[in-house]
Amino acid sequence: MKTVSHLINNRATPVTENDRIAPVFNPATGQVSKNVALASKDTVQEAIAAAEAAYPAWRNTPPQKRAAIMFRFKELLQQNADRIAEVVGEEHGKISHDAMGELQRGIECVEYACYAPELLKGEHSRNVGPGIDSWSEFQALGVVAGITPFNFPAMVPLWMYPMAIVCGNTFVLKPSERNPSSAMLVAELLYEAGLPEGVLNVVNGDKEAVDLLLTNESIKAVSFVGSTPIAEYIYTTANANGKRCQALGGAKNHSIIMPDADMDNAVNQLLGAAFGSSGERCMALSVAVAVGDKAADTLIEKMSVAMQPLKVGAYTNSDNDFGPVITREHQQKVVGFIDSAENDGAKVVVDGRNPQVEGYEDGFFVGATLIDNVTTDMESYQQEIFGPVLQVVRVNTMEEAMQMINDHEYGNGTCIFTRDGEAARYFSDAIQVGMVGINVPLPVPVAYHSFGGWKRSLFGDLHAYGPDSVRFFTKRKTITQRWPSSGVREGVDFAFPS
């Protein structure tokens, strides 16, 4: 059986007998499809050393030349999109239309990175004092690291290293060990595009690899995306070791369904946003807060009908709407949350606990599930389920709905469905959430904005990709210079310069 190893200095490392390995599953069949090597401290050290050795020359490569490699990379990603989507499907389970959407979003981040010569131009002020000019420039940090989750195995690495690299840093990526192959394939395309050896290195692994990245002195910054408990650990450990860190965490994204909403439209939007990718998106809309019983009853009635034709199945059939969840353990966890909601008094209106997927009886499937009468004291409401489950909470007023959202520990995404511009404007102004949609269920910012939640959905100051990522992967240096005219001597002055 194949074992996925690591990429150091643009080459796959050999797998040795002493390497620890973990199984990689095809979640649709429930079978192990390959293994992945889990990097030892020595292997991570080797990757860091390769990145350190590549840094001086890469830092001094003109930004336009660095961007030219990104242009070729973007073309190669487009030419190989089907291959990448296939690998994502096999190890993650998402259907090709969804995998292609994920990849397209990643490609847009590469496009934005191609713009680096413009983004790195800096700021200049002439004559800040007599004969004195001053400017700020944005310099690379050195070797930086990225640690990514399973749910967007192709896209999330592309949030990080294209911009980091084009800004002059060298990079060590640690993808999710549950589905490592798409990150490997995408990195190989960047080598094919002409990236010099050592600029991007990929180590697969678990906590052992991560902990070395968090403590090694050569790593100057860590960008992390994953669940909140791990994000918090990454952020505090990286900070304690003197590193810059951004750590994006989990979510519980609410939509408010106002009584005046176009209900058919809201139902269509909710279907994709709640069940797409089996709900394994950090922007999945997992809670619908209906304002008034009439809106709630209409929503439940229409959703139950609209959910009947939904098809859960293997990624190999593009007619399927969504695939399995990532592991058997996660499948059991999602089903456990449905059980707990029911035991706590909520009503399971559409039950996806035992989906029949012909020919894939051992797959990790959960069908689309709709739960009514959920309340905020229930564990299934408080925690991120990360499965194809939409919970409906009934409230009487918009204020009550907003208070509920603001009280939740997560603040990643949210959306309001309404025809009332005044209500929408008030909502977007006052809601304590980082990414807000008005009749847009998945308000994922485009590549030239930045992505990030509030509260315990993001630890750190700067959001991912877009303009914030240029700031995250560079440090500002401000230079003030005077060239006195010949013959002019400066006098002694003990006052603070003004």
The catalytic site residues sit at 282
- Least separation in angstroms between residue 385's CB and ligand NAD is 10
Stretch near ligand NAD under the rule CB under 6 A, chosen from 16-24, 204-212, 370-378, 418-426: 204-212
Stretch near ligand NAD under the rule CB under 6 A, chosen from 3-11, 57-65, 220-228, 292-300: 220-228
Q: How many residues bind ligand NAD (CB under 6 A)?
A: 26
Binding of ligand NAD by 147 (CB under 6 A): yes
Binding of ligand NAD by 227 (CB under 6 A): yes
Stretch near ligand NAD under the rule CB under 6 A, chosen from 63-71, 105-113, 172-180, 350-358: 172-180
Give the one residue of 88, 199, 225, 312 binding ligand NAD; rule: CB under 6 A. 225
Binding of ligand NAD by 146 (CB under 6 A): no
Stretch near ligand NAD under the rule CB under 6 A, chosen from 114-122, 215-223, 225-233, 416-424: 225-233
Binding of ligand NAD by 253 (CB under 6 A): no
Angle at 74 between CA 70 and CA 79, to 5 degrees: 145
Binding of ligand NAD by 157 (CB under 6 A): no
Give the one residue of 143, 248, 401, 405 binding ligand NAD; rule: CB under 6 A. 248
Binding of ligand NAD by 171 (CB under 6 A): no
Binding of ligand NAD by 80 (CB under 6 A): no
The token pair that represents 132 in the structure block: 């004195």
Binding of ligand NAD by 364 (CB under 6 A): no
CA 39 to chain centre: 23
Residue closer to ligand NAD, measured from CB, 427 or 451: 451
Which x/- pattern, by CB under 6 A, does the window 55-74 give for ligand NAD?
Answer: --------------------
- Least separation in angstroms between residue 377's CB and ligand NAD is 22
In single-letter form, the type of residue at position 385 comes to I
Closest CA to 114 of 63, 182, 46, 49: 63
Binding of ligand NAD by 384 (CB under 6 A): yes
442-461 residues in contact with ligand NAD (CB under 6 A) are: 453, 457
Stretch near ligand NAD under the rule CB under 6 A, chosen from 90-98, 170-178, 396-404, 470-478: 170-178
Binding of ligand NAD by 278 (CB under 6 A): no
Dist. CA 221–CA 200, nearest whole Å? 15
Residue closer to ligand NAD, measured from CB, 132 or 444: 444
Number of C-beta neighbours around residue 47 at 10 A: 29
409-438 residues in contact with ligand NAD (CB under 6 A) are: 412
Q: Which residues of the chain form contacts with ligand NAD (CB under 6 A)?
A: 147-152, 174, 176-177, 206-207, 210, 225-227, 230, 248-251, 282, 384, 386, 412, 453, 457
